[in-house]
Structure 1
Amino acid sequence: MNLDLFSAEDTAPPTPYEIAPGAWALPGIASTHADALWAGIHKVIQSHPLRHLVTPGGSRMSVAMSNCGDLGWVSDEAGYRYQGTDPLTQTPWPAMPEGFREMAISAAEQAGYPAFEPDACLINRYAPGARMTLHQDKNERDYSAPIVSVSLGLPAVFELGGLERGDKVQRLSLQHGDVLVWGGPARLRFHGVRAVDPGQHLLTGAHRFNLTFRKAA
């Protein structure tokens, strides 16, 4: 049986804390930037709409997504990869909003990863029932840079496993404004998001949004 890191009755610590070697939770640090981040999301998806990608095996992902930055992560029957153009619009991905970049760099620094320079930001929208199965982020060329993940809107349960798919999974309740950073010994840990419960949030409505910053090239 998996042990939840925090139950519904617990209160998240007000300061960053390590959830595993190399992996840090930064509760609520994006809350004061939420409006600006939300405006940036809308600007990106107006020109590069959210879409449900297809896995190499032909399955439709439950999470809708888009990208901004020099590179964007895509998936289709040909495989998982980064590329500089949006396959839906056949145009370059929009530039990463400066507020996005500043948020990612600041979070990485607080987690002990200085000089993080993200060149890709995945924008994921979770409707109720959408989930992300356990996986490793292995399409990047250099694993020395961390992953920075920002949560907005509806709460979700993040799962952090080990370096093998069958390793024990820890669970962490993520709230609006929470940020996770993992790198170093945690960089290739399996991770995922459990199915999001129905609800309403003042900023994002019936959805959870997640910004995932990476150094892909």
Structure 2
Amino acid sequence: MTDALFPRERAEVAPGAVHVPGWLGPDRQRELLDACRVWARPPAGLRTVRLPGGGTMTARQMCLGLHWYPYGYARTVVDGDGAPVKPLPAWLARLARDAVRDAYGPDGPDGPYGTGADTGGTHEGGRASGRDDGDHDVADDGDYDIALINYYDSDARMGMHRDSDERSPAPVVSLSIGDACVFRFGNTETRSRPYTDVELRSGDLMVFGGPSRLAYHGVPRIHAGTAPSELGVTGRLNITLRVSGLD
């Protein structure tokens, strides 16, 4: 009811950082949630990330395309079960390209913050047209080729950090499913202020590239119990899509 009375609007949080509320429709959210449940199964499934200093991340993670570990990428789960990382399907790479286009407007990937790649299909009502259902239809080289999927329970947090282990300057695409969170978007110089807190709800899109590509960001709070009831999920899933630029 609140959204109906006071619709949330698209906003540029910082130059090149755009928040698009409700970008994923309910059906698309369910499809992504179902896919995440499959990807979370072993081998190369959901894991606890151990940091070099001996601590652990409170958000658990799984990867597609390439496996991220602190602080680099591999083709196997080098800090887990050692299995080959699951492939990133082409439909998910296309969804990332659609997100960049919709966030940045008509110029999309050809604009100042984009990737320069063809966006492929169209995006309607939270769905990407021409989606392939087969997981074996993988993304092409040079396309969006990495997904880091974080699962937050009610007590999980993510400290301020930069997504700096990729060689490509292509924008980061972030999709939210489940519980709402406080997403803290900062600056490129320091983990502290200035920063802006944005509420990300289920279905929201956040894209950051250009001058904001290496901005510090984090999740200081999860709003437990706010996931849409029809999803049947507890906690928050964050699907973060990137172009590695790696050979």
**TM bucket, shorter chain:** 0.7 to 0.9
The partner residue of 2:75 within 84, 106, 130 is 84
2:99 and 2:31 mapped to 1: Cα distance? Answer: 16
Amino acid at match of 1:138: S
Match of 1:196 in 2: 222
Deviation of 1:31 after TM superposition, in Å, equals: 2.5
1:89 positional shift? 3.0
Aligned equivalents of 1:64 and 1:194: distance in 2?
15
Choose the corresponding residue for 1:95, options 84, 87, 92.
87
C-alpha distance in 2, partners of 1:61/1:132?
Answer: 7
Distance 1:167 1:10, change over 3 A: farther
Kindly indicate whether the alpha-carbon contact (under 8 Å) linking 2:180 and 2:226 is maintained by their aligned counterparts in 1: no
The Cα of 1:204 is off from its aligned counterpart by: 5.1
**What residue number does 2:140 align with?**
none
**Are residue 153 (structure 1) and residue 178 (structure 2) matched?**
yes
Aligned amino acid, residue 37 of structure 1? L
How far apart, in 2, do the equivalents of 1:38 and 1:200 lie?
Answer: 16
1:10 offset after TM fit, Å?
A: 5.8
Kept after mapping to 2: 8 A contact 1:31/1:178: no
SS in 2 for 1:55: coil
How far does the alpha carbon of each residue in 1:161-211 deviate from its partner, in whole angstroms, 9 at most, with x for none? Answer: 111223311000011000100000111111001121321633252210000
Q: Deviations over 1:130-171 (max 9, x none)?
A: 1111111111112x2010000000000100111122331100
Aligned to 2:69: 74
Q: Tell me the SS of whatever aligns to 1:196.
A: strand
Q: Which runs of 5+ in 1 are unaligned?
A: 1-8
1:58 to partner: Cα distance: 1.2
* Counterpart-to-counterpart distance in 1, 2:223 and 2:50: 23
TM-score, L = length of structure 1: 0.86
Helix, strand or coil at the partner of 2:144: coil
8 A contact 2:64–2:85 mirrored in 1: yes
Instruction: Output the TM-score relative to the length of structure 2.
Output: 0.76
User: In structure 1, how many angstroms separate the alpha carbons of the residues matched to 2:222 and 2:18?
Assistant: 22
CA RMSD of aligned residues (A): 1.8
SS in 2 for 1:206: coil
Contact residue 180 and residue 224 of structure 2 kept, 8 A: no
- 1:3 corresponding residue in structure 2: none
Structure 2: any 5+ residue segments left out of the alignment?
A: 110-116, 120-142
Partner of 1:138: 164
User: Structure 1: which amino acid aligns with 2:72?
Assistant: R
1:37-84 Cα shifts (integer Å, max 9, x gaps): 112111211232211111111111100000012x12113xxxx11111
Letter in 2 for 1:82: Y
Q: Which residue of 1 aligns with 2:137?
A: none
Alpha-carbon displacement from aligned partner over 1:90-119 (angstroms, at most 9, x marks no partner): 222111134322221100112234127211
Please tell me whether the aligned partners of residues 59 and 157 of structure 2 are also in contact (alpha carbons under 8 angstroms): yes
Structure-2 residue corresponding to 1:62: 58
The residue that corresponds to 1:209 in the other structure is 237
CA contact under 8 A between 2:150 and 2:239: conserved in structure 1? Answer: yes
Residue aligning to 2:199 = 173
Report the number of matched residues.
Answer: 201
Moved over 3 A (4+): none
- The alignment partner of 1:85 has SS state of coil
